[in-house]
Structure 1
């Protein structure tokens, strides 16, 4: 009989975010393995609850009043949690998710627990002392805690209290999706070239969150002889300086299926994040798999570990406009350096495959019994 596993996460596809994509990859990958029976419990970003099957994975979405301080407000989640955990062998929490932590604390189900620890709480850290006892209670009950990188394992003060439980498992994506173009991608690539011309093009991808460093990027881009593609961003999402407006391309929402074409259209990638809330930067792996050099920032997180300075791209100080501008100009004017970084980037991307991530978690699950 397959092991029944409940993935407990804040939000789930079609909501776009790094954690949401990882949970989807993990759930769908495990669903294809006869040893496991996987289902997902999450919260609606707002509105009524629902139950549905998404790509073969049963998903229960609890009703929500909305999101406050990054956390969904839901009462029905507690009832859904109690019902869902009664039917499974393993509860896999994706933290930080205070609502789920509180639900576990109140009900204390006698189940095997694994926690994937995606990041420390950054923006709401003033509230962390209130949350800390509940989180530590969950982490003490967990059989294993999986930080998403060795870097997170080393710098997180929270994780330092549980060294014997730590089993770092780096995040992974379906690399072939970004390294090999389909006929559909080639058609879209042709349309992009026809519409925007020869370039050069620099790519940013992600939500316009406060920590992404988009204002810094705009300042650094003044006078740069290239065009900046903001993948997944609309003009209404950001404040645009008039000096750079003519050089910006806003794609708005792009389907997951079409993403690879934009990576192959660009000359290199930039992730100018300014705050440690950027814990990993999964979009870097997408860029590297597509053969793009990466400019990132020296955050005290896994970001500069994923793409390494002078190996797969360049790393600059967070929020430093002149350094970011210099790195952009360096890659624009040195095509041989870009080619060297691109080659190394493709190789390093292999460390972050979803197949490896899924296999590592499968071994972790089976080791519990």
Structure 2
């Protein structure tokens, strides 16, 4: 089976959570005889076709980016061309321009949509987009989402429960390079007593301003790995609050990130808005056997992090509760170790890439079996 994935950004230019999910899907589904290909947009699409891992990526030229939505005049022709070679089209929502591509192309192919997140921030634009969105969601053959939590709390998905299934995201531990002894020793020497770790892009929904408030008058190190649009404002906030124990490390190579995951006391993940639909960085913490601190926002974060078992879950936007949770895990090393072991066990039971690939392959087969063969592109 050949599956064409569509999303607005992808490797090697963009390294976000959805991109990671698509990558893991393309890799893990190969074991089930499924060849994945990705169509995406790029401001610099030369070469137009590149190989990432074991699959191909076709890049159409990005002409305009408006309200986090990429537009491309080249994408329609590219979509029609690549879809001719595909048995099934796998859309990754949200990307409103993708809805337009779907209808403009006039394809007669089986379709699946992964519903990664509600549209949270662009409320005014959502009013204009909503009719097209529901027409699009109604038109696809099946929908998957990453957690039962999100299915239960999304007002949009409530309209499509009859065709929505849960396929949790998964990661392949073997795809992560090992941290060298020298790298581990370098970080261990710099932070010998341990530290809390945040990994992610500094976006509005990540709640890093809440984390900085929680760090006031604390003594344990807090390491922030990543960059993003709010970095300058967050650095200014940390300076204003005199947070000498908070360290902004910027974007780091994977070997350093993995070393920090291994050495950390716990992963802190203060996202406070539903734009954080799952939390790949949170899942990485579980994969490396670390307890987690996250907020209850009704999404997949609380599917990964089971309160009292794999870590602690606090009310969103509550700096005092976040601080209390950090204090507990810092003081009680035995509790942190128990929760970390439980987190790793939960990862192995529910969130491996192999499990995701097997489950998605089953859904693909269900979609293909429910309808007659469509030969026209």
Q: TM bucket by the smaller chain?
A: over 0.9
Choose from 190, 196, 203 the match for 1:202: 196
Distance 1:63 1:83 in 2: 15
Distance 1:218 1:51 in 2: 42
Distance 2:233 2:118 in 1: 26
Computed over aligned residues only, the root mean square deviation of the Cα atoms, in angstroms, reads: 1.9
Determine if contact 2:151/2:157 at 8 Å carries over to the other structure: yes
Distance 2:131 2:287 in 1: 40
Distance 1:185 1:98 in 2: 43
Higher mean alpha-carbon deviation, 47-56 vs 139-148, is at 47-56
SS of 1:238's equivalent in the other structure is helix
Determine if contact 1:175/1:349 at 8 Å carries over to the other structure: no
Distance 1:248 1:53 in 2: 39
Distance 1:73 1:130 in 2: 17
Distance 1:306 1:170 in 2: 10
Distance 1:143 1:298 in 2: 31
Once the two structures are TM-superposed, the CA of residue 257 in structure 1 deviates from its matched residue by 4.6
Distance 1:260 1:67 in 2: 33
1:250 aligns with 2:248: yes
SS of 2:31's equivalent in the other structure is coil
Determine if contact 2:194/2:263 at 8 Å carries over to the other structure: no
Give the direction of change, closer, same or farther, for the CA distance of 1:322–1:274 in structure 2 (3 Å limit): same
Distance 1:257 1:66 in 2: 34
1:292 aligns with 2:290: yes
Higher mean alpha-carbon deviation, 355-364 vs 233-242, is at 233-242
2:69 alignment counterpart: 71
Determine if contact 1:120/1:156 at 8 Å carries over to the other structure: yes
2:9 alignment counterpart: 11
Once the two structures are TM-superposed, the CA of residue 245 in structure 1 deviates from its matched residue by 4.0
2:88 alignment counterpart: 90
Q: How does 1:252-267 map to 2 (within 5 A)?
A: 252-267=250-265
Q: TM-score, normalised to structure 1's length?
A: 0.92
2:26 alignment counterpart: 27
1:55 aligns with 2:74: no
Determine if contact 1:218/1:244 at 8 Å carries over to the other structure: no
Choose from 185, 194, 203 the match for 1:190: 185
Once the two structures are TM-superposed, the CA of residue 142 in structure 1 deviates from its matched residue by 2.0
Q: What are the superposed Cα offsets for residues 305-325 of structure 1, whole Å, 9 maximum, x if unpaired?
A: 210111111111111111111
2:222 alignment counterpart: 228
Once the two structures are TM-superposed, the CA of residue 56 in structure 1 deviates from its matched residue by 2.7
Regions of 4+ moved over 6 Å: none
Q: What are the superposed Cα offsets for residues 12-65 of structure 1, whole Å, 9 maximum, x if unpaired?
A: 1131211010001111223x3372232110111x34452211223111111113
Q: Relative contact order (C-alpha < 8 Å, sep 6+): which is higher?
A: 2
Q: What are the superposed Cα offsets for residues 102-143 of structure 1, whole Å, 9 maximum, x if unpaired?
A: 110222200000111111111113222322232222322322
Determine if contact 1:105/1:134 at 8 Å carries over to the other structure: no
Distance 1:365 1:237 in 2: 44
Give the direction of change, closer, same or farther, for the CA distance of 1:268–1:358 in structure 2 (3 Å limit): same
Once the two structures are TM-superposed, the CA of residue 145 in structure 1 deviates from its matched residue by 0.7
Determine if contact 2:26/2:35 at 8 Å carries over to the other structure: no
Q: How does 1:35-184 map to 2 (within 5 A)?
A: 35-44=33-42, 46-48=43-45, 50-176=48-174, 182=178, 184=179
Once the two structures are TM-superposed, the CA of residue 352 in structure 1 deviates from its matched residue by 0.8
Distance 1:143 1:33 in 2: 24
1:366 aligns with 2:337: no
Give the direction of change, closer, same or farther, for the CA distance of 1:24–1:257 in structure 2 (3 Å limit): farther
Q: TM-score, normalised to structure 2's length?
A: 0.90
Choose from 226, 235, 238 the match for 2:234: 238
Unpaired runs of 5+ residues, structure 2, are: 370-377
